[in-house]
Amino acid sequence: MLFAHGFGCDQSMWRFVAPAFENDYRVICFDYIGHGRTRLNAYNRERYASLHGYAQDVLDICQALDLHNIVFVGHSVSSMIGMLAAIKEPDRFSNLVMVSPSPRYLNDDGYVGGFEREDVEELIETMDGNFFGWATSTAPAIMANGDRPELGAELGATFCHTDIEVALHFARVTFLGDNRQDLPKLQTPSLIIQTREDIIAPVAVGDYMAKHTPNSTLHVIDATGHCPHMSAPQETIDAINQYLHQPH
């Protein structure tokens, strides 16, 4: 079981969920280049100019560790990264679990992604001008669950530990990208986990993904925020277990 973190995060974000599967799976967590404790000198702007570069990183890990029959669990943008990896090398993957995914963050001709282009451009401009200010002010809204401010504070701190240049580049690739055309190409069975309220990936996005992704199952859990693996880990674990123990 391979766990992949979202934008501006690191593998520590899975500490509430990943251990629940250690008895039944070989559990592997990792950090993308520029995140966590990775070496920044390995970063290549050209390679990471699209999500395909990150997908190749996933496949490189799979090849290096000789992984097969993989359950890939990706949060947010890593859901699309895992999808691209599974499309390229489908025989390696048994299932994809997508936590709070979105194939397109911008609203577009009847499609509800949640953001207007001006919103995203302003977001990136704010990040560029005052990344630490953006991180500490925005993270609590992304996390939601205001009754537990320590969760938003941790997310903000993790954002701040990410290399700024990497984060800005990754943000543009993530929020301006469009992977809707890739959804029908995915043949690996997939679980889409969404919360009932998420400012980054609204429920309409989950509905869209479920409609356009073959062999997919949508599970809306009774939680809020974009990071249920941190704010509602048991619900997330239960959703994954329920899915993995049913026939596909």
Sheet holding 216-224, edge to edge: 28-30, 2-4, 70-75, 93-99, 190-197, 216-224
Which listed residue (76, 78, 79, 100) is catalytic? 76
**CA-based nearest residue to 4, from 92, 71, 87:** 71
Distance of alpha carbon 210 from alpha carbon 190, whole angstroms: 9
* Both tokens assigned to 158: 């993790």
Q: Which of 100, 102, 190, 198 is catalytic?
A: 198
* CA distances (Å), origin 26, targets 94, 101, 160: 14, 24, 30
Indicate which residue of 5, 75, 226, 229 is catalytic: 226
Structure tokens at 32: 């993308």
C-alpha of 177 from chain center = 14
Closest CA to 194 of 167, 227, 169: 227
Judge whether 226 counts as a catalytic residue. yes
Told to judge if 5 belongs to the known catalytic residues of this protein, a careful annotator would answer: no
Question: Could you tell me if 175 and 115 are in contact, meaning their C-beta atoms sit under 8 angstroms apart?
Answer: yes
> CA geometry: angle at 191 spanning 185 and 193, to 5°?
125
Do 103 and 192 form a contact (C-beta atoms < 8 A)? no
Residue 87 in 3-state DSSP?
helix
Q: How many residues does the chain have?
A: 248
Q: Could you confirm whether 76 is annotated as catalytic?
A: yes
The residues carrying an active-site annotation are 76, 198, 226
